[in-house]
Amino acid sequence: MKIMIIYLCIMGAGIALGYRSDGFSSKSATRSRFQTVCLLVILFLLGHQLGANEEVAASVGTMGLTGLCLGIASMAGSFLVVWLLRRALEGPKSPHSGEEDAR
């Protein structure tokens, strides 16, 4: 709980600083670099924290297989819904659609 309060305080300070500071435009290269560095640090720390957890490290194979299955299932579901919607929205096709008369 203590760490959550620290995270919320840091986030609140960032919001206040962003609201009050007019020194950086939203398209500033300095701001963009700073955000990229902060994001990379957060990702590194998250990876370090997960890697240090032996329970998580031991189940990496299971999580990978689960992720693969979820990815395949979501893609198959998306393709199925698109195919069904196309069939429903296009309506019935005539037997000679797309063919030119040879006369």
pLDDT digits (tens, 9 = 90+) for 82-99: 999 999 998 777 666 665
- For 21-59, write each residue's pLDDT tens digit: 766 666 678 878 888 898 999 899 888 888 888 888 889
Type of residue at 27 = K
Neighbours of 31 (CB within 10 A): 15
- DSSP code for 27: T
> What kind and span of H or E run contains 13?
helix 2-20
Enter the tokens of residue 103.
Answer: 């006369």
Gap between the terminal Cα atoms of the chain: 81
pTM for the complete prediction?
0.46
Tokens 């194979």 sit on residue: 61
Helix, coil or strand: residue 24:
coil
